[in-house]
Structure formats: structure tokens, C-alpha cells
Amino acid sequence: MKVAGLGFRREAGVASLREALDAAGGPEGLAALATLSDKADATALRVLAQQLGLLIRSIPAEALTEIETVTQSELIRAAFGTGSVAEAAAIAAAGRGARLISARAVSRDRMATAAIAEGDGE
């Protein structure tokens, strides 16, 4: 299963999320979008998921702790215990054997990040 992880500021719009997703490789072949549980209900994310016909996977923050990521943000590491919310959410949601196939990409306005992982979905 191929999943896009998204990290974003609460005020990010659909355009920012879509731009980050496109920069990470686009929505083709995705089974779901994944993000932190406390942002899974964000309007922009729900609209993007509806536009793309994808489910949203809600990932608890504690599930991201200690997931190794390719990119590193000290701010994100201090807050969540991982280097990238987008990369860690994608890996967590993709299931066993998940591997990152697209590292974190950032929207031009820096409001959203996206990464893509693939795993067995379990």
C-alpha cells in the first residue's frame, strides 16, 4: 500500500497541501493520506482527500516517536520525537515493511510537507 504522509500548519490551505503532495510525487497510486491525529479533521485535508478519492489515516503522535526519517527538523524532533512528521506518518500508515519512496517535499509557502511510503498495509 502506498501512502502519502502530510505535515502542515493548521492554517494551511488545500493548495499548499496539494503542492507539497505533487512535489513529493503526486497522488497517483496512493491508497490514503496520513497525518497526526490532531490534524486529521482539518478542513483542507478533508477537502483534498475528497478531491482525490482517498481515505485519511489518523496517526497518534506517540506512534511517530523514534521513527527514523531521511530529513531532520530539530523543531519537529523536539516536539514529536522524529525528524519529519510527513515521513514518519507515511511510514507508520503504510504498514509492515514500509519504506520511504519519496522524502519530505515542502510547499513553496512552507505551510505543508508531504512524503510517500510503501508497505504491506498491515
pLDDT in single tens digits along all 122 residues of the chain: 999 999 999 999 999 999 999 999 999 999 999 999 999 999 999 999 999 999 999 999 999 987 889 988 888 888 888 889 999 999 999 988 999 999 999 999 999 999 999 998 66
CATH of the domain at 107: 3.30.420.180
pLDDT of residue 37: 95
| Local structure of residue 55 (DSSP, 8 states) | E
Measured distance CA(16)–CA(31) in Å, rounded: 20
Measured distance CA(28)–CA(83) in Å, rounded: 26
Residue pair 33/49 in contact by the 8 Å Cβ criterion = yes
pLDDT of residue 82: 87
Q: How many domains does the chain have?
A: 1
Per the structure, the complete domain to which residue 41 belongs is given by 2-118
pLDDT of residue 80: 84
